[in-house]
Structure 1
């Protein structure tokens, strides 16, 4: 690589001498070693390079919820994912505050919605970085061959993670499993089924080669591990209604030593990070410019230094049984703002949690880890998968969640389901449990879609069956592809 900057001053003042002397000088004079930011040609050479490349592949995951991309954060599952459902109101300063969220809330989402473009871009950035690891790292010589295998497995998990976000948002998308060359950039959409098959193939590699965090050093915490891959395979299978497969991977997950944290209220405080029932989290840090999360600010009250989005609807609050301790652990009320004045306590800062308000690094970061996958979610996925074939075991797993929910309260508080419950009453009980246990975590909208209930529950809010199950492909992507990438029906 030829770098001339360091010789600029010499050229400026000695151009005549240099011109004359170049005849006798070796051209190595201008061939200098690369310094500064690495480039592809001189990177991917050592195990240290491989670790750094892997970190880069994790970065878009953090950016989705962090200050690095404001509109992608607004488009995350915790915000855009559940706005427009029967659980959350957009809110903000007024009815028209934040047009991208307003479009989702009213089911009038446009192809130029800026959050959709950022979701698309950020996920494909993650896919590119994962592909770089998958394609480049095999050629690096490692003394620790197990770590090499783990790095590649983590990259496969990450690629699956990004594609799962894309398929839930847009349906089938272009599948890229190599480093593209000039002229290869326009790739048509795969079908939804093909996209899911691609995700499953990546997760199978991750499951086979990843270690468990329970037998890994403390420094491994925060990396995707076997439990995360198994749990994600359960979720991917559930969203395809592959219930036998949910059970298969649930059986494997439950052999690992996860246990439900005793106190539900502690889970979303700092003391609950990576607790015994936490399967995967996105790690965030306070008092830094780029390592925190913007979610807390986005959804905190405007009169408590937040933006006031995603306020809790009465329908969700009424779903909780009397005296369910999860109610107070999930919501808090602050009056004097536009909207319902009820807020998601799971991503909050003091005095509503033990996370301190950030004092360094600007106004956008907070230390709240994003809880991506929890054991109670896995229990409820498992129960839903087997409720019709093995109702007694399904009841057992739901009751594990309900028993933890009531904590030290009498058994009359969040009482156990009857051992004999089965059929539709049991399925409805599982749906109820998912709604209250996972309230505010970004699953309600997709739960309604995958179970076929969205048309009934969300139609009064504007949901159109056959259209709003997915969002539109960003206009820019369709335009740049000259129509090779087709638009979703109805947009």
Structure 2
């Protein structure tokens, strides 16, 4: 009987796998080799290594595809096209861009499924083992447990938004259960997400030492994720509840909007006051292609740079692979906005002015992502440059939670003055005047403020705008709001395909 990738992820929960090494981060812990789970979790050091292993899938940028989810969500939205070298370059990217996905689509589906279910499997193992680790203090048991609850909520939040109908697994599966899992209703997944986050919040630290623990979950990250999850459930009667959760973050003295918008994305400014939850990457690992797929850097940075680039103006350290060329729609929407230059690089105009050269890739528009572009100042000094970009993925930041709370206040009939002040704060940071805090204005502000950061596709889907906005890409209402279940997950299991993909 053939085992599926999903089940293999849960089988691997019986081992502790090496974590990603990140300079000046708690992720520097690297369990040596592969240790059988039955012989592990016998010391505090092993418990720590198990905790690191549960975080490890967050930073996966390469399994069979080449990029973090941020890149994939950007090209699936109206912000960018797939790009690359040709119409067959990264087939999964091309098919999501044109909404021709099927259960057999290579690369992308299996990666997204595997990343999150591997994380859940490692979390479940930790939660079952943590209470019996000799010598582990009660304080560490409490913190590790809260971190695992946060991570399980995070992984399931990705899964339910991406695939909709997924198995709900909160314990280590026995062999007899491997092929008998069924899909849960999305409402049940969200209920578990909320349960885990509500349990985690009281026991997570308000802050961490970013020099040693940067990237670990905090109380603010869990509160923000809880508010986001409730909003995504789309129940108007609960919007005030979401607003209250987000307000806890937005009024916390631990966070503040940065005065300089562009500095948010500078990899030399990691864990800044606007960052609420950040996935760590580093160039210090010096990885080469022989290390596939265990790279510590952010390969997505390499993907979005202009192909064959040469010239000092853009400061590109290495020619990129020209994925995610920015659409004319986003360029037009951002023209005149103070955030334009930190978001979009107009390489075509530089080339026409004779200041650089580059090779136009597939679906080239001449406009490229600037927020996490491959800049000379950020390149690593060891290993293959293209694999070792240090740019972190800022999963949740304060402007995001400001705008989400403003939305929740308006939708829930809450504090309209507060919604206005939150929207005003985001705009004032970049020198823009106040506009009324209507839903349309809040959604438009999210589009501009968070462009190319991986939020737009989810926003279009959850607000019902996707069938209209993405129609020209081929988006089909009632089908493309979620992805197909990967074909290999359907073989020899009780899982069924999502509607529209049979």
Query: Do residues 89 (structure 1) and 89 (structure 2) align?
Result: no
Q: 1:325 to 1:362 in 2, by over 3 A?
A: closer
CA distance in 1, matches of 2:233, 2:384: 41
- Residue of 88, 109, 126 corresponding to 1:133: 126
Indicate the SS of the match to 1:490: coil
Displacement of 1:97: 2.2
Partner in structure 1 of residue 341 of structure 2 = 328
CA distance in 2, matches of 1:438, 1:128: 31
CA contact (8 A) 2:261 2:339 kept: yes
- Residue of 206, 219, 226 corresponding to 2:212: 219
Query: Do residues 306 (structure 1) and 320 (structure 2) align?
Result: yes
CA distance in 2, matches of 1:37, 1:166: 27
CA contact (8 A) 2:379 2:388 kept: no
CA distance in 2, matches of 1:450, 1:376: 19
Map 1:404-415 to 2 at 5 A.
404-406=429-431, 414-415=432-433
CA distance in 2, matches of 1:381, 1:358: 39
Query: Do residues 238 (structure 1) and 231 (structure 2) align?
Result: yes
CA distance in 2, matches of 1:201, 1:358: 44
For structure 2, list consecutive stretches of 5 or more residues without a partner in the other structure.
1-31, 288-294, 310-318, 349-358
Q: Which has the larger radius of gyration?
A: 1
CA distance in 1, matches of 2:483, 2:378: 34
CA distance in 2, matches of 1:194, 1:37: 34
Q: 1:179 to 1:429 in 2, by over 3 A?
A: same
Partner in structure 2 of residue 19 of structure 1 = none
Higher relative contact order (CA 8 A, sep 6+): 2
Displacement of 1:287: 3.6
Displacement of 1:326: 0.8
Q: 1:36 to 1:463 in 2, by over 3 A?
A: closer
Deviations 1:343-366 (A, max 9, x none): 111111224xx4125542563221
CA distance in 2, matches of 1:382, 1:122: 29
Displacement of 1:95: 3.0
Deviations 1:77-127 (A, max 9, x none): 312223232211111112332211111111110101221012112211111
Indicate the SS of the match to 1:83: helix
Query: Do residues 372 (structure 1) and 382 (structure 2) align?
Result: no
Q: 1:361 to 1:148 in 2, by over 3 A?
A: farther
Query: Do residues 163 (structure 1) and 140 (structure 2) align?
Result: no
Partner in structure 1 of residue 191 of structure 2 = 197
CA distance in 2, matches of 1:279, 1:363: 27
After TM superposition, the structure 1 stretch with the greater mean CA deviation from structure 2, 233-242 or 189-198, is: 233-242
- Residue of 469, 474, 477 corresponding to 1:465: 477
- Residue of 432, 440, 443 corresponding to 2:452: 440
CA distance in 2, matches of 1:361, 1:321: 36
Query: Do residues 269 (structure 1) and 263 (structure 2) align?
Result: no
Q: 1:278 to 1:349 in 2, by over 3 A?
A: same
Query: Do residues 337 (structure 1) and 360 (structure 2) align?
Result: yes
Q: 1:392 to 1:434 in 2, by over 3 A?
A: same
After TM superposition, the structure 1 stretch with the greater mean CA deviation from structure 2, 96-105 or 141-150, is: 141-150
Aligned residue pairs total 433
TM, length-normalised to structure 1: 0.84
Displacement of 1:208: 1.8
CA distance in 1, matches of 2:219, 2:171: 24
CA distance in 2, matches of 1:474, 1:362: 32
CA distance in 2, matches of 1:219, 1:271: 16
CA contact (8 A) 1:287 1:366 kept: no
Deviations 1:15-62 (A, max 9, x none): xxxxxxxxxxxxxxxxxxxx9643222211121111100000011111
Partner in structure 1 of residue 276 of structure 2 = 279
Displacement of 1:70: 4.2
Q: 1:217 to 1:60 in 2, by over 3 A?
A: closer
CA contact (8 A) 2:278 2:395 kept: yes
